[in-house]
Structures are given as C-alpha cells and as structure tokens.
Amino acid sequence: MHPYVKKVLAIVEKRSPHEPEFLQAVREVLDSISPLFYAHPEYAKANILDRLCEPERQILFRVVWEDDSGNVHVNRGYRVNFNSVLGPYKGGLRFHPSVNLSIMKFLGFEQIFKNSLTGLYIGGAKGGSDFDPKGRSDDEIMRFCQSFMGELWRHIGANTDVPAGDIGVGSREIGFLFGYYKRLTNRFDLGVLTGKGEGLGGSLGRKQATGFGCVYFADDMLQVKGDTLKGKTAVVSGSGNVAIYTIKKLQDLGAKVVTCSDSDGYIYDPNGIDFELVRQLKEVEHKRILEYKEKHPHCTYKPGSKVWEIPCDVAFPCATQNEINLQDAQTLIKNGCRLVCEGANMPTEYEAVHLFQSNGVLFGPAKAANAGGVAVSALEMQQNAALTSWSFDEVDLKLRDIMKNIHDHCICCAEQYGSPGNYVVGANIAGFKRVAHGMMAYGII
C-alpha cells in the first residue's frame, strides 16, 4: 500500500473507530486505488483522500410520530452529505431498524464513486432512519414520512441535495415525503426527490433500473469471456425492487432463476421463479416470500437460511450489506458458481471478495454493477428540469449505454493500473479519478 494511502487509512480508523461498515468500505476503496498514487503524486500533495473520506456535512435529527393506537414513537433521522464535487448530493433514503451512522456513512461514501462512474453530474450522499416500516399501516408510514420531512426539507433542493428511495422507501414513501415537502415549501419542485410515481414526475424505468442495470453489467462481463447468460442457472437473494427486476431481466436474457428470499428465509423453485407471482406478493400485496409456496407447492422454503447453498452458475446478491461471508463464498465456488454480480450495496464481505477473485470467479462490485438505479434517478432529474418525460424504451436504452460505459471504464482502468480483469480495482480507480480531478480543479474548499 502506498505510504500516503496507509497514512490516511490510519487517520480514518482513528477518527471513526466504532463505524465498522464505513471502515470496511473505506479499506476496500483505499486498497484498490493505492497504485494510482504512484502515478499521480499530486493527489497526495493536495491530500485528496483525507478530504474525500470525511463527509462535507452530517445531519442527525429526531423523528417523532404517532401510531394508529395513539402511541408516540421516537426514531433517528440521518442525512450524510459526503461529496458535491460533481453535482448536487444524490443518494437514497433507507428506512430499516439496522440504520445507524456507520451504515449511512458507508452508503454515502460508496455513492460518491457509484455516481461518478455514471458519467452524470451528481455528488454522493445517503440518508434514512432506524424506523421499521414492516407491519405498519399506510397511515402510520405517512405520519412518519411527514415527521421525517419536517426536518429534512430545510436541507434539500433540486440543486442542493436530491434524495431517492432505498430499502424500505419506495414510490409510496416518496409520495408522502414529496407531498409534505410541497406543503412546507409552497413549491411544486419536481426535481427535489427522485423515485416518484409516474404521475408525479417519476421516470419510466426507474423501478426496474437497478436490477436491469445489474444484469446488463453481468452480461457485459460474460461477453468479454465469449459467454452469455443464456442457459445459466442463477440464484438471486432478496425480493425487493432490485431482486425482482434482476429476476425479470435474467429471465429475459435466457437465464433460469431458481431462488428469491426475504429476511425470514428463501424459496427454491427448481422449475424457475414465477416472476409475476413474486412481483404480486411483494409489490402489490406486501406479503412474505413464504406465501409463494401456496401457489407453487412443489418448491422448497427454507426459513432462516441463505440462498448461497443452492448450486448455480451465476449469483446475484440483491438483499443487503455483508450477506455473503467467507463460508458462503466457499460454498458458491464449490458448487460451480463462475460469476457474482452485486445488486445490493456491499453485500459481499471483504475476505469473500478476495476468495472469489483468487478462484477465477468474475466479480462485479456494487458501485459499478448496481449504479443503474442512481443513473435513472439522474435521468429523472433531467426530465423534471426539462418538464418532459421519456418512454420506457428510451430510458432503458440510455441505461444500457450507461452500464456499458461503466463496464468499459472499469476494464480500461484495471488494465492501465496493473490489475487486468479486476472490476473492483477498475471501478474504484475510474470513480475516484473523476472526483479527484474535480477536487483539484476547485482548489482547497
């Protein structure tokens, strides 16, 4: 590791000792980009890394709301504005009981590089709350969203910070948030939130974008090897938007998807996952994945287990961070998996990533492979600014081009800096260079 990079890592570890997810993300990036500093000593002279690893702004606030029984609850709200060199802060809101400052910082830090890779003009941020929407009524979720926006509204704007959705935040929640923002500000500011419903200025294709983009990236990885997804057996974790539309696009390209999951367990359907049933259960009825078995009794449901024990050719972790550990990686390799492409944010532990790479498994890191969601969010911003809308096919074509460009930049940077075929190195260096050039151009600010 370059001495300057090693020095900055020690500073970050001392500064944030109780933030394991954030430190994991920083270590992974710094380890990858170390060779860059031998070629560009000017980055060290300007102390780019230390500046990049400290958020520009961290907002922590109380969220008080009342449930349907009249009980008053208190949650924490967060917004971490990490870097605005390339444009207004951009990143999702996550509502999940696991949310804390470490997770917000890890997600915001990753978002810097992900957004940079898209080639669009958006900075990196993340936000959310430890509120758990599971089992809550629409009215309870509305009241929580209104209380959350009661503080957040003063920190966001179409040219300042543009939140979107993430785990626990879909078009329903974005609608509640936008409605209250409109009431508080007396402005119909379409560009202040993305992931809106199609009738409220949302972009066609946004819901599908992260899953579709992840599969497009995987397809490009295989094409480099003279292969395709057609005929491959795929395992997918999760059953949210990312997983659902990863399943859809894999099936469109001829793969056979045999799993999906939620926090309770997973479904294994050897005949291939029924996409329409999963979409109905999760998007419309908001039920648990166990209900899948009622319509397909031949399938297997395993409570409290992960999908990685199922033999496959390709694997798509689309649930949450650190869902593939070293043992899971060993199992996947033993069972013949030859490609892992991350649909969730940092779903693979650091040691597991290295195990995949050392065993010749193609590995698509999240900051590249799941950038499709934020890319289409930025396209939504463009449509809102122009007071227009594009067709689904237009958006999907733009998404396909963006993912191809991300893939090609990863390949090019990995080759240029001595790690041919290493998408982790390529993604981190390609994302970092664009941000670093901007920071150098702006001077010391």
Q: Where are the domains of the chain?
A: 55-188, 207-369
Is there a common fold for 55-188 and 207-369? yes
Global pTM reads 0.92
pLDDT in tens, 244-279: 999 999 999 999 999 999 999 999 999 999 999 999
Enzyme catalytic residues = 126
Tell me which CATH code domain 55-188 carries: 3.40.50.10860
pLDDT in tens, 81-115: 999 999 999 999 999 999 999 999 999 999 999 99
Is it the case that residue 441 has pLDDT exceeding 90?
A: yes
Is it the case that residue 243 has pLDDT exceeding 90?
A: yes
pLDDT in tens, 290-331: 999 999 999 999 998 899 999 999 999 999 889 999 999 999
So what's the pLDDT on residue 222?
Answer: 98
So what's the pLDDT on residue 334?
Answer: 97
So what's the pLDDT on residue 6?
Answer: 96
Q: From edge to edge, which strands make up the β-sheet containing 259-262?
A: 259-262, 265-268, 300-303
Which range is least confidently modeled, 172-181, 194-203, 232-241, 260-269? 194-203
| 254 vs 206: CA distance, rounded Å | 23
So what's the pLDDT on residue 116?
Answer: 97
Q: Supply the angle between the helices 3-15 and 20-33 in degrees, to the nearest 10.
A: 170
Rank 31-35, 201-205, 214-218 by mean pLDDT and report only the highest. Answer: 214-218
Architecture field, domain 207-369:
3-Layer(aba) Sandwich (3.40)
Is it the case that residue 152 has pLDDT exceeding 90?
A: yes
Is it the case that residue 190 has pLDDT exceeding 90?
A: no
